[in-house]
Chain A
Amino acid sequence: MLNIDSLERGIVIDHIKAGSAMRLYQLLNLDRMECCVAIIKNARSSKLGKKDIIKIDGMVDLDVEVLGFIDPNITIAVIDQGKIIEKKRLVPPEVLRNVIRCRNPRCITSVELGVDHIFRLSRGQEGQRYRCVYCEQEYQGQGTGEK
């Protein structure tokens, strides 16, 4: 198995659905960061079979809410002096702002310039869904949808 050095100080995003790491990398704007970032694809996982992992060398502010929307099974470990000092479990955020876009052509967001794309979590019989706060249309895409 490929070896990536352990982090002395940084963040490990683990249990990412295999194949989703690059999208996460973009959604979290990690491409704009100066620090060293390792993406591990298709790592062996007892739970998932295969998984992706992202390791960030250094402390950065992550939009954890976005991660909760993409996949609440993802885990985040904060490392300091080579030890895990915090583990974060994700929950789907109540509100998503400018993460996904409404695809309803009748929605004001399809024409209004500079509008915030806001979705709210709604809980129905068939589970949790995100609805556009403007037109109430349900978001149909995958969690790892386009930005």
Chain B
Amino acid sequence: MRHLIDPLDFTTQEINSLLDTADEIAADRKAFSQVCQSKTLATLFYEPSTRTRLSFESAMLNLGGRVLGFASQDSSSAAKGESVADTIRTVSCYADICAMRHPKEGAPFQASRYSRIPVINAGDGGHQHPTQTLTDLMTIRRRRGRLGNLTIGLCGDLKFGRTVHSLLKSLARYEGIRFILISPEELRVPEYLIEEALWAKGIPFVEAEDMERVMDQLDILYMTRVQRERFFNEEDYVRLKDTYILTPEKLRAARPDMSILHPLPRVNEISIEVDEDPRAAYFEQAQNGVYVRMALIMMLLGLSREGAKC
């Protein structure tokens, strides 16, 4: 049985195939509307989420399946002290596949060790967010026509930003990728990721603090929010939260074909004037997120377009 816990759980070939399916879904959603008839997705969200949970639920409903689950830790048996291992063993009796978000890092991995159904990591603390990565990869591929030979700027909270960690690990597997890591010193990419995902593979990268100075080099600008919930110290959060705010003025130096991505939700790190810029791709990402999660559910359940096991 396959799970998706880490973005590297799938080979690049598998990701390409999954993105192909997602593109087919985008082109003809109706053709997939019965694929998951009689299948149930459990959404186990121990941490608040709007986008990811609704995106998973929308994906399963679009496939003709059913959805059950909870949307916060308080409304789950975790509030009574139940372990993740026990919860997933129980949920395995009620559903065919599950998406789990948890504030603790490694919780979906722990679940996958005890689960009898495929587990999808829908975000674990500041660690990984592999389905957001699939969404990002789909958006990049649709915008640029490829996943290699790109200069990627990752900007904002690169320390606790789980979407950044997952995207960096994934893109590092493609030819000709170069990273520009834009963050204040306190929010730099963790050393283990630099070491294992970049140095070890000889991936070129530079660390920068000034967004505008590197803007003209970027094919992709991936903005992130500084997340209050990742800080133990409110003072640090307040000091760092407004470090980067993307405005039309800052975009003047950017290439006309650059794409701006953001995992959303946005607070103020991208000013709303940028939304009208054709380079803004973040709402497209939200749409792609549904298609790619549909493709992922099909893949993990081993279902083809006709709904048959493949």
Q: Which residues of A contact B (CB under 8 A)?
A: 104, 106-115, 122, 124-126, 131-138
Q: CA–CA, A137 to B190, complex, Å?
A: 10
A-facing residues in B92-118 (Cβ within 8 Å): 102-107, 109-110
Q: CA–CA, A139 to B159, complex, Å?
A: 18
Query: Judging by beta carbons under 8 Å apart, are B107 and A108 in contact?
Result: yes
B17 within 8 A of A: no
Q: Per-residue CB proximity of B181-224 to A under 8 Å, as 1/0?
A: 00000000000100110011000000000000000000000000
Contacts of B199 in A (CB 8 A): 124-125
B126 within 8 A of A: yes
B85 within 8 A of A: yes
Query: Judging by beta carbons under 8 Å apart, are B195 and A125 in contact?
Result: yes
B287 within 8 A of A: no
Residue from the list B83, B84, B106 in contact with A135, Cβ < 8 A: B106
Q: Which residue of B lies closest to A116 (CB)?
A: B113
Q: How far is the CB of B204 from chain A (nearest CB, A)?
A: 16
Q: CA–CA, A110 to B125, complex, Å?
A: 13
Contacts A112-B83, A113-B83 given; does A106 touch B104 at CB 8 Å: yes
14 contacts between A and B (CB under 8 A): A106-B105, A106-B127, A107-B104, A108-B84, A108-B105, A108-B109, A108-B110, A112-B84, A122-B192, A125-B199, A134-B106, A135-B125, A136-B127, A137-B105
B contact residues, range: 20 to 34
Contacts A115-B110, A135-B125, A135-B127 given; does A124 touch B192 at CB 8 Å: yes
Q: CA–CA, A133 to B5, complex, Å?
A: 12
Contacts A106-B104, A112-B84 given; does A124 touch B125 at CB 8 Å: no
Q: Which residue of A lies closest to B199 (CB)?
A: A125
- Give me the 4 closest cross-chain CB pairs, A-B, nearest first: A134-B106, A135-B105, A108-B104, A124-B195
Query: Judging by beta carbons under 8 Å apart, are B106 and A132 in contact?
Result: yes
Q: How far is the CB of A135 from chain B (nearest CB, A)?
A: 4
Q: How far is the CB of A78 from chain B (nearest CB, A)?
A: 36
Contacts of A108 in B (CB 8 A): 84, 102, 104-107, 109-110, 124
Query: Judging by beta carbons under 8 Å apart, are B200 and A133 in contact?
Result: no
Query: Judging by beta carbons under 8 Å apart, are B106 and A124 in contact?
Result: no
With A108-B104, A112-B83, A125-B199 given, can you name 11 additional A-B contacts, CB distance below 8 Å?
A: A106-B105, A108-B102, A112-B85, A115-B110, A124-B195, A125-B200, A134-B105, A135-B106, A136-B105, A136-B127, A137-B192
Contacts of B110 in A (CB 8 A): 108, 112, 115, 134
Contacts of A113 in B (CB 8 A): 83
Q: CA–CA, A60 to B200, complex, Å?
A: 41
Q: CA–CA, A35 to B104, complex, Å?
A: 44
